[in-house]
Amino acid sequence: MRPLRYFHLWLVLGWLAVATVVLLSLISQPPEVPLRYGDKWGHLLAYGVLMGWFVQLYQRRGMLLLHALFFVVLGVALEFLQGYTGRYFEYADMAANTGGVALGLALAFTPWQSLLLRWESRLAGSVAPR
């Protein structure tokens, strides 16, 4: 766990984002991305953002790998569940989800791993004491 002042708030927001991805994955009419292979880019971005968010919250490799595994399994499970919602099962979506998780996890090895911590520090520094 990172020494974030508002860790629990960030954690709740992260899980709300996960719930949003689950909801968008299971509704019968998903939002369309007006690009070639737009749905694949959407999958890559969604799972990259989710994993990137949790990289901001945790620094221990075990927790990061646990979250990465969870997101890969979630992406596969949701793809199977889409068959019950009138949507299509696609291996390419699973690959895009997994690619997004890998990109988000890669943040753990860059200076961007503590972006939220730095943002929180700046925010705290800009608040004038009373």
N-to-C CA span, the chain: 30
Rounded distance, CA 2 to CA 60, Å? 9
Would residue 56 count as lying in a domain?
yes
115: containing domain? 7-27+39-120
- Tell whether 125 is covered by a domain: no
Query: Residues 41, 98: contact at Cβ < 8 Å?
Result: no
pLDDT in tens, the chain (130 residues): 878 999 999 999 999 999 999 999 998 777 676 777 778 999 999 999 999 999 999 989 999 999 999 999 999 999 999 988 888 889 999 999 999 999 999 999 999 999 999 999 888 776 544 4
Total structural domains within the chain = 1
Q: Say if 94 falls within a structural domain.
A: yes
Residue 32 in any domain: the answer is: no
Classify residue 128: in a domain, yes or no.
Answer: no
Does residue 127 sit within a domain? no
Pick the closest to residue 94 from 29, 32, 25, 35 (CA basis). Answer: 25
In sequence order, what are the residues at sequence separation of 6 or more whose Cβ sits closer than 8 angstroms to the Cβ of residue 60?
A: 1
* In-domain check, residue 79: yes
Residues constituting the chain: 130
The answer to whether residue 52 sits within a structural domain is yes
Please tell me the pTM assigned to this model.
Answer: 0.89
